[in-house]
Amino acid sequence: MADLTIMGAGIFGLSLAYTCARRGATVRVIEKRAPGAGSSGGLVGALAPHVPENWNDKKAFQFSALQMAGPFWKGVATVSGTDPGYARLGRVQPVAEPGLALAHARADGADDLWQGFATWQVLRAKDAPGLALHAPSGWVIHDTLSARLHPRKASAALVQAIQNLGGTIETGQDAPATGPVIWATGHEGLTDLNRDLGRVVGGGVKGQSVLLALPCPDAPQIFADGLHIVPHIDGTVAIGSTSERDFTDPDSTDAQCDDLLIRARSICPALRDAPEICRWAGVRPRAKSRAPLLGAWPDRAGHYVFNGGFKIGFAMAPALAEVMSDLVLDGRDSIPDGFRLTIP
């Protein structure tokens, strides 16, 4: 019998299963399709921070999550024997001339708020590390807090680590759950929660992305014109993504991927001749609050909700998994107020 059952093998479910198994729990993960089949099986994997200003509890928690990401993924790699593609290589962003004063002010904020762990610098574009990019003002922001992760390699590494720690991962629609049950079932789980609570707490937002072949595994990621350009460990570069509230086919790609490519190649000339490998589309779980949702499922004894990663799921999952394991294994509620599932 499992000490606990986790429904869903996306980044939230797998991170929680690994964390609980490391604490000695007997873990069972049930996924109706395959691990990483939903939005956790995408291409981008950008772990990017909030800007260092207007600090609050949510930003502080995300900062701590980014701090612990390196040790977490190193542990996953050690236990699994598989590289999840994590590297804290930073991020480069073009900055417009009118925004230079604010960019410099944020550098001062980073000195204070990031506690010496990482830096935020304003540089001449010609002095920025990594791929050359189009910066009309001639200036860029380079932060050293942003990291990247290969989503599919990370999911595979977590699966292997969980199994090496004695956990099981099962697929199928009707597998019965035992012990405490944690629902980490993505946008479909949010739909179930909406129906159960009689109010909207979240839904799904479709995203599309593109993968190109260009070996530059040590280059920082680029964020420009709302796009993430993320070099990965395997000689690929991911470009993403769209955000679509209204859609009919959650898994189809369309002309919006063409637009992503045009914009990315305009920003980063090195991408112009990089061959396309594949395109991806999927639906990400977005809570109405835009923050992850954690806590007991109301009126379902022994059931819990762990959902709503949206665009920050990979960055937040390791830290949030610690919070959820505290709750489920030890009965200790350390959920930050901004992430707590509540009933008005």
Which residue is listed with tokens 């993924």? 73
Residue 1: per-residue pLDDT: 55
Asked: is 4-82+150-200+288-339 a CATH 3.50.50.60 domain? The reply is yes
Task: Report pLDDT for 174.
Answer: 65
| Contact indicator for 36, 169 with CB cutoff of 8 Å | no
Is the fold of 4-82+150-200+288-339 the same as that of 91-146+204-287? Answer: no
Q: Which residue has the tokens 């460990």?
A: 233
Q: For position 337, what pLDDT does the model report?
A: 87
Supply the pLDDT for residue 344. Answer: 59
Regions of the chain short of the pLDDT cut 50:
none
Q: What does the alpha-carbon distance between residue 67 and residue 224 come to, in Å, rounded to a whole number?
A: 24
- Domain map of the chain by residue range? 4-82+150-200+288-339, 91-146+204-287
Class level of CATH domain 91-146+204-287:
alpha beta
| Helices 313-330 and 57-80, packing angle to 10 deg | 90
The DSSP letter of residue 238 is E
Question: What is the model's pLDDT at position 17?
Answer: 98
Distance CA 319, CA 39 (A): 19
